[in-house]
Amino acid sequence: MSKLTLTVNDQTYDLDVPESRTLAQVLRYDLGLTGTKIGCEEAECGICTVLVDGVPVDSCIYPAFKAQGAAVTTIEGLAHNGELHPLQKAFVEHGAVQCGFCTPGLIMTSVALLRGNPDPDDHDIKVALKDTYCRCTGYTSVINAIHSAASELRGEGAQPWCSVATVEPLKAVGRAVPPPETVDKVTGRARFTDDYIFPGMLYGRTLRAAYPHARILSIDTSKAKALPGVLAVLTHEDVPGENIHGLVYSDWPALAADKVRYMGDPVAVVAAETPDLAAQALALIEVEYEPLPVVADPEYARTPEAPHVHEEWPDGNLLKHIKVRHGDIEQGFAGSDVIVEHEYRTPTIEHAFMEPECAIGVPAGYDDEHAKLTIYVGSQIPYSDRQQTARALGLPEDAIRVRGTLIGGGFGGKEDIAGQIHVAMLAQTTGRPVKMLYTRQESLLFHPKRHATIIRIKTGAKRDGTLVAVQAELYGDGGAYASLSDKVMTRATTHATGPYVVPNAKIDCYVMYTNNPPSGAFRGFGVTQSAFAVEQNMDMVAEAIGMDPVEFRLKNAQKVGETTATGQLLRESVGLLETLERVNTSMRGADAGFQWGWREGGKAYGWGVASAYKNTGLGGGAPDRAVAEVEVFPNSIAEVRTSSADMGQGLTAVLAQITAEELGLPVSAVRVLLSDTDLTPDGGPTTASRQTYVSGNAARYAASTMRDALRAVAAERMSVPPDQIVFEDGCVRYNGSSVALGEVVGWMQEEGLEAKARYQYDAPKTQPLGTGGDMHFAFSYATQAALVEVDLETGAVKVLKVVAANDVGRAINPRTLEGQVEGGIAMGLGNCLTEEYIIEDGVPWSTLFARYKIPSIKHTPQIVSHLVEHPTADGPYGAKGVGEITSINTTPAICNAIYHATGVRIYRIPVDQDALLRALKAGEAEVRTTWHDVK
Amino acid sequence: MTLWNYYHTPASVDEALELLRSYAGKARVIAGGTDLLLDIRQGHLPPPEALIDITRIGELCDLHQDGDWLVLGAGVTHTRIVSTDLIAARATCLVESCGVVGGPQVRNVGTLGGNVAHALPAGDGTTSLVALDAEAEVILDGERRWYPIRELFVGPGMSLLDPTRDLLIRFRFKLSGPYEATAFKRIMRPQGVALPILGCAAWVRLDESGEYYADVRLCIGPVDRVPVRAEAVEAALCGQPVGSDAVERAIQAAHEGLHPRTSRYRATAEYRDEMIDVLLRRVLPLAAERAQTGQAVPEGVGIE
């Protein structure tokens, strides 16, 4: 311990702290300034940025004593006397905040920029924020926010957010209100799981497999247990209940017992007084393995010689064979004038949410607030966490409470169990709270990812441009455990016709167990992969028959009255044609000389178009329900409660707006409580773009039920006909007289009634694949056009512009919706150009953030967004899902654009400039390899 | 994980050396720490007992002009180099290379000295220092002396300096004068580790007509285990008239003399070969134009 003198946010501290501290540790743990977040500890993501003597630095690798005597400014130091800094205001106003985990880093980096440069242009902003990542927003709103704040700081006034055109808004629905927690996210007050500390809290760590596939011969924990300060070392033998979990299939041991099936498999967990001691204890656990042959890819997995990943599984390594049969495929191709057949490959993709997984277990009876075993976690499915934890701990479900914290991004990657079961076991064993925070590197290793796929697809059409047949074979790398593989690859299969009318289809998908990290849910849910193949085949067919790619799509687009290849009659809300037309008009502009591709200087330019559709909701016969509760208090404040998760997408705003609309309240008078299994009813999983629709409907009907109850009481008290009472501005009104809503609540209470309503919303019934009928209750549609620039000397690809049109049914909140559009495009761009999670013979190479590049602000293209609103009858105010559709067609649009620019087809992503250049030089028309395929 | 136990910020070179001596191999020199701390955290280096931070030693933070020479302390950050007008005008390649290292947060603390001491074969700043024919003053095993920059590189990631014992004090190089100029460019890919596929720095001196290459120094890397001068290419250019013919001669010489390797997660040898052409076509005319006009505005700083 030495004295460290720091002035932090104008307050001087003399601290006795170990010299081994980083600045981030001092700020977060010694000073409790948890607004500064830690994202990677590799100086890659920049979200830990603070200012040291005015200079932005990565505090996670900045030794605290390096800052001896310095003035440090953190996110908590920006607002003065409750007045937000112009940047903080601008981030709220421009929708530059989603999950909020990177927000402090973005804002602090921007503060430094504006101090040195009061009027930055886009380039200056991109230079300054180049290494400060955001996974949610796609950066467009961040750039706008910085311009606005700069303008305000120059005394020229803040710039307003420019709304995208929508249908006429209602009182609350259709308005760009910020989600209620947004202000906390820009001030650093927002608390994520790692920001919680409990007295006596221990630190957990997980020992993971040493091989991708091996039998466990023995585990010796005695040395680890003997280390002073270590309070528990648990293995499979210590799992009190059933040692198994899983979302669809229960195939994943909480702690590996007989064998390990991938490098992320947990073998033992420890709890110790400090994180360092926990790490030391891990090193003392001795595990004896017998390595087994590795199943490294899904095609090999299906061969007879491949060893079985799960010996007890009856179908070998085949997790599922999924089939779509429609019409007569032989006849279809026989009647086709043009047939295009190709094989495409997509890699494993990492979610790279900015907040690594963290869970805290608090033992039952710890204090008054924690009578039950409580798990704090940022999870997409709190009730499922509770169910799976209860099973592993051998407890009834209601003996456990899952309290959702804010989620620093999810994108599907926080649906599976991470540390929930482990912290519960460790807390119960030690009788003390236990926090398990994964490092970025552990997060990369452990959690289920986007399926790598091999897709062979054959498309047939008539010379007049009528699509006749699609045949496809897909292989999905399911990895070591099932997770959501079944559902994800079903979606890839059923959407493999693209959003078109295809009278004859035969599609087979094989989802295979391998020794790679498990694959699961990831924004786009399988459709991202099939769209990459489908939409390039579409362009090739159009070219072969000499038809414009847009015209070809328009001719075959799904419309009301048509039937999908799974036998679903489309009755309403099919906005595909309009998305195509809007994008086409925007892309071609007023210029009569539109060209798909051209060359200029040493560069080639090209436009590419792709369309897509994506189901809203679980579908396939799964009951899709959400329960919401609405309560109104005597102070005229309402609260809406459901367990649905907000991982940054803006669900809280949607629920508050819907509740406000139904009750005639200002949105600011509605509180939202999410993700608490004791206080909020089950909203179901936050997946499948379903929450606006399903939980939104639950909230809407709960609120309208509440309104009807209030109306009945008010009518009686005011002696007026119930149907003439109007709910507006927080009051009930009749003929000029007005009573505050809270007063009506008082009347209800006087009558012994609770001003509380609960509603279980069951979405329209769906049918399983193969039975015909409606597999889904709604689809969203989208078209994107991308303009790319290819450097003919280097092969480097740059996306200059993306035009997007999304049919969302109804825009409940146009600003958060635009955030989904911009963020979805950025994620799609990363999927196409920058990202690949590399695994070699079961061993991940992408073990660091430095080895896995997500798009940074410098990749941000100009985005032109159109909202198309074809309402769906059962959706709240007509709304359907939007979270995934925004991201799906970016990749094929870019690849089609590259083709138009260069004449080279991309069959493998990410696009490799090395291979692209070599193809260009050799006059080859295709690229089938990627950047690490070289020997 | 505890990455180090003690942290010292000596105020003088002597104090730093004394501290290193007292830890007897268990302390390491740290400047910005943006490479070192990652190496420790990722297990490439065992955690040292102590870190000796040299960035508060005046001599190591010194940056001044001494006649035609620039003297640059080893503890000067990339950001300070990039924002120094004198360097931008008269050692332009150094600003162009230091300006693309990492992002602002890394450049704000990472130092050129640390970059050189880390001994990557294609560190951007290193590539430019080689083209500038820089010298480095070091205290090696207690002895203070100047070395040509290239002699500090022993192998990939291996420096002549022992980081538990020795100190890199400063660099010096001649600022470009009349008819002289420099330029730096590199080729990156958007995937994987942010290291250059290939980088190229050139220093040129034209004759007084401004029409002929009188002297050239060129560093292209990585083409070897350590940074090297492309001497055959330099020779091919000397005496040639400025223009595309000279560049093509340079390219031909480069292909005869330079043989970049395939590295699995960066690039194929074939691609790197192509990039030699591209870089020479981009760097040589730029440097020549700067030498002719006497004007140099750094390009690509922040984002290439």
Tell me the CATH number at B286. 3.30.390.50
The nearest CA of chain B is from the CA of A821 a distance in Å of: 23
Q: Do B41 and A41 lie within an 8 Å CB cutoff?
A: yes
Looking at the partner chain, which of A845, A853, A934 has a beta carbon nearest the beta carbon of B190? A853
Contact criterion met (CB < 8 Å) for B268 and A921: no
> A646 is written with which tokens?
């907000």
Which two structure tokens, joined as six digits, stand for B302?
Answer: 């922040």
Q: Are strands B198-206 and B213-221 parallel, antiparallel or unpaired?
A: antiparallel
Verify whether the Cβ–Cβ distance A275 to B1 is below 8 Å. Answer: yes
Integer Cα distance of A652 and A645 in angstroms: 9
Q: Looking at the structure, do residues B112 and B230 belong to the same domain, yes or no?
A: no
Average pLDDT score over residue span A11-25: 97
Q: pLDDT class for A14, splitting at 50, 70, 90?
A: very high
B151 and B68 in a single domain? The answer is yes
Q: Which residues of A touch B105 (CB under 8 A)?
A: 43, 46, 49, 56-58, 109, 131-132
Q: Which of A896, A915, A917, A914 is nearest to A905 (CA)?
A: A896
Residue A883 pLDDT > 60: yes
CB A230 within 8 A of CB A272: yes
Nearest by CB to residue A276, choosing from B2, B55, B194, is B2
B1 falls within a domain: no
Q: In this structure, are residues A833 and A772 in contact, taking their beta carbons and an 8 Å threshold?
A: no
Contact (CB, 8 A) for A93 and A158: yes
Q: Would the CA dihedral through A364, A365, A367, A368 be positive or negative?
A: positive
CB atoms within 10 A of CB A410: 28
**Is the full-model pTM beyond 0.95?**
yes
Cα A124 to Cα A119: distance, rounded to the nearest angstrom: 9
Cβ <8 Å between A61 and B193: no
Q: Which pLDDT does position A604 carry in this prediction?
A: 98
CA-based nearest residue to A483, from A823, A822, A246: A246
B236 and B211 in one domain?
Answer: yes
Closest Cα of chain A to B288: distance in Å?
Answer: 21
Closest CA of chain B from A339, distance in Å: 34
Q: Which two tokens stand for residue A588?
A: 């071609």
A834 closest CB neighbour out of B190, B278, B303: B190
Q: Which residues have a Cβ under 8 Å from the Cβ of A798 and sit 6 or more positions away?
A: A788, A789, A790, A791
Residue A38 neighbours by CB under 8 Å, 6+ apart: A24, A28, A47, A48, A60, A194
Position A849, amino acid? F
Mutant choice from A26, A60, A66 vs B, greatest count of B C-beta within 10 A: A66
Query: A650, A595, A632, A622: which is closest to A812 by C-alpha?
Result: A650
Taking 90 as the threshold, does the pLDDT of residue B85 lie above it? yes
A695-700: average pLDDT: 98
B127 and B234 belong to one structural domain: no
Collapsing DSSP to helix, strand or coil, A404 comes out as strand
Distance CA A698, CA A692 (A): 10
Q: How far is CA A579 from CA A354, A785, A864, in A?
A: 32, 11, 13
Residue A591 confidence (pLDDT): 78
Give the CA distances from residue A570 to residues A501, A566, A776, in Å, rounded to whole numbers and listed in that order. Answer: 11, 11, 10
**Mean pLDDT, residues A516-540 taken together:** 98
Q: CB–CB of B293/B179 below 8 Å?
A: no
Please tell me the distance from the alpha carbon of residue A102 to that of residue A136, in angstroms, as a whole number.
9
Query: B193, A42: Cβ pair inside 8 Å?
Result: no
What is the C-alpha to C-alpha distance for residues B246 and B228, in angstroms, rounded to an integer? 21
- Residue of chain A whose Cα is closest to the Cα of B272: A914
φ/ψ (deg, to 5) at B140:
-110, 120
Cis peptide before A910 (omega within 30 of 0): yes
The whole-number average pLDDT for the span A772-776 is 95
End-to-end Cα, chain B, rounded Å: 36
A620: CB partners within 8 A, 6+ apart:
A487, A490, A766, A767, A768, A769, A775, A776
What CA–CA distance (Å, rounded) separates A754 from A205? 46
Q: Determine the residue of chain A that is closest to B271 in CA distance.
A: A914
pLDDT > 90: percent of chain A: 98
Look up the domain containing B200 and give its range.
180-292
- Any domain includes B297: no
Cα of B100 to nearest chain A Cα, Å: 10
Q: Are residues B163 and B203 in the same domain?
A: no
Which one of B95, B193, B200, B271 makes the best mutation probe of the A interface by having the most chain A beta carbons within 10 Å? B271
User: Is A20 in contact with B53 (Cβ distance < 8 A)?
Assistant: no
Strand A603-615 to A597-600 pairing: antiparallel
Give yes or no: residues B105 and B190 share one domain.
no
Last residue of a domain, one of B129, B149, B175: B175
Work out the average pLDDT over B56-63. Answer: 97
Q: Which residues in chain B touch residue A913, judged by CB atoms under 8 angstroms apart?
A: 189
Residue A345, helix vs strand vs coil? strand
CA distance linking residue B167 with residue A591, whole number of Å: 63
Would you call B106 and A130 a contact, using CB atoms and an 8 Å cutoff?
A: no
Cβ-based neighbours of A215, under 8 Å, separated by 6 or more: A258, A259, A289, A290, A292
Residue B2: inside a domain, yes or no? no
In tens, the pLDDT along A168-204 reads 999 999 999 999 999 999 999 999 999 999 999 999 9
Chain A positions in Cβ-Cβ contact with residue B281 (cut-off 8 Å): 793
Residue B192 inside a domain? The answer is: yes
B1, B34, B191 member nearest A279 (Cβ): B1
What is the residue-averaged pLDDT of chain B?
97
Give the mean pLDDT of A627-645: 98
Q: Looking at the complex, report in whole angstroms how far the Cα of residue B3 sits from the nearest Cα belonging to chain A.
A: 7
Q: Do residues B137 and B225 both lie within one domain?
A: no
Asked if residue B150 and residue B11 are part of one domain, the reply reads: yes
Q: What is the pLDDT of residue B102?
A: 95
Give pLDDT tens digits for A351-374: 999 999 999 999 999 999 999 999
Q: Are residues B118 and B198 in the same domain?
A: no
Q: State phi, psi for A623 to the nearest 5 degrees.
A: -60, 130
| CB pair distance less than 8 Å for A794 and B187 | yes
Same domain, B120 and B253: no
Contact A387, A211 (CB under 8 A): no
* Same-domain pairing of B169 and B34: yes
Q: Where are the alpha helices (DSSP H) in A362-458?
A: 382-393, 420-430, 440-446
Which band of pLDDT confidence, cut at 50, 70 and 90, is reported for residue A935? low
Distance (Å, rounded) from C-alpha B12 to C-alpha B52? 11
pLDDT band at A934 (very low <50, low <70, confident <90, very high): low
3-state percent helix, strand, coil for chain B, nearest multiple of 5? 35, 25, 40
| A&B contacts, CB < 8 Å | 146
Q: Cβ of B105 and A853 within 8 Å?
A: no
Number of Cβ within 10 Å of residue B27's Cβ equals 25
Q: Is the pLDDT confidence value at A413 over 90?
A: yes
Query: B106 lies in a domain?
Result: yes
In three-state secondary structure terms, A749 is helix
Which site among A2, A790, A793 would you substitute to test the B interface, given the most B Cβ atoms closer than 10 Å to its Cβ? A793
Say yes or no for a CB contact (<8 Å) between A66 and B265. Answer: no
CA distance A308 to A463: 47
Looking at residues B240-247, what average pLDDT do you find?
A: 98
Q: Is the pLDDT of residue A1 over 60?
A: no
Residue A932 pLDDT grade (very low, low, confident, very high; cuts 50, 70, 90): confident
CATH number for the domain harbouring residue B27: 3.30.465.10
**Cα–Cα distances in angstroms (integers) from residue A253 to residues A321, A415, A421, B126, B187, in the given order:** 24, 16, 11, 50, 46
Q: Tell me the pairing of strands A737-740 and A259-260.
A: unpaired
CB-based contact B303 A279, cutoff 8 Å: no
Lowest mean pLDDT among A219-223, A437-441, B263-267, B269-273: B263-267
The percentage of residues in chain B with a pLDDT greater than 90, rounded to a whole number, is: 97
pLDDT per position as a tens digit, B100-120: 999 999 999 999 999 999 998
Q: Which of A46, A63, A126 sits opposite B105 (nearest CB)?
A: A46
Nearest to A711 by CA among A723, A694, A699: A723
Among B51, B268, B302, the residue with its CB nearest the CB of A934 is: B268
Whether B48 and B155 map to the same domain: the answer is yes
Strands A434-437 and A202-208: parallel
Nearest CA in chain B to A280: B1
What's the number of domains chain B is made of? 2
Rounded Cα gap, residues A60 and A49, in angstroms: 8
Pick from B112, B142, B175: which residue ends a domain? B175
For residue B69, tell me if it sits in a domain: yes
The reply to whether B300 falls in a domain is no
Q: What is the pLDDT of residues A83-125, one digit of tens each?
A: 999 999 999 999 999 999 999 999 999 999 999 999 999 999 9
Cα separation of A245 and A256, whole Å? Answer: 12
Contact B104 A131 (CB under 8 A): yes
| Per-residue pLDDT reduced to its tens digit, A461-517 | 999 999 999 999 999 999 999 999 999 999 999 999 999 999 999 999 999 999 999
The verdict on a CB contact (< 8 Å) between B34 and A43 is yes
pLDDT for A665 equals 98
Phi and psi at B226, nearest 5°, equal -135, 160
Q: What is the CA radius of gyration of chain B?
A: 19
Nearest to B189 among A61, A123, A913 (CB): A913
B86 located within any domain: yes
CA-nearest residue to B192 within chain A is: A851
Cα distance between residue A762 and residue A625, in whole Å: 4
Q: Where are the alpha helices (DSSP H) in A719-813?
A: 741-750
> What span, in angstroms and rounded, lies between the C-alpha atoms of B230 and B220?
7
| DSSP, residue by residue, A631-697 | EE-TTS-EEEEE----SSS-HHHHHHHHHHHHHT--GGGEEEEESBTTTS-----S-TT-TTTHHHH
Query: Which two structure tokens, joined as six digits, stand for A84?
Result: 């937000």
pLDDT class for A695, splitting at 50, 70, 90? very high
Nearest CA in chain A to B102: A131
Which one of B45, B83, B105 would you mutate to disrupt binding with A, by most A Cβ within 10 Å of its Cβ? B105
Mean per-residue pLDDT, A734-751:
96
pLDDT of A792 over the 80 cut: yes
Of the residues B150, B175, B200, the one at which a domain ends: B175
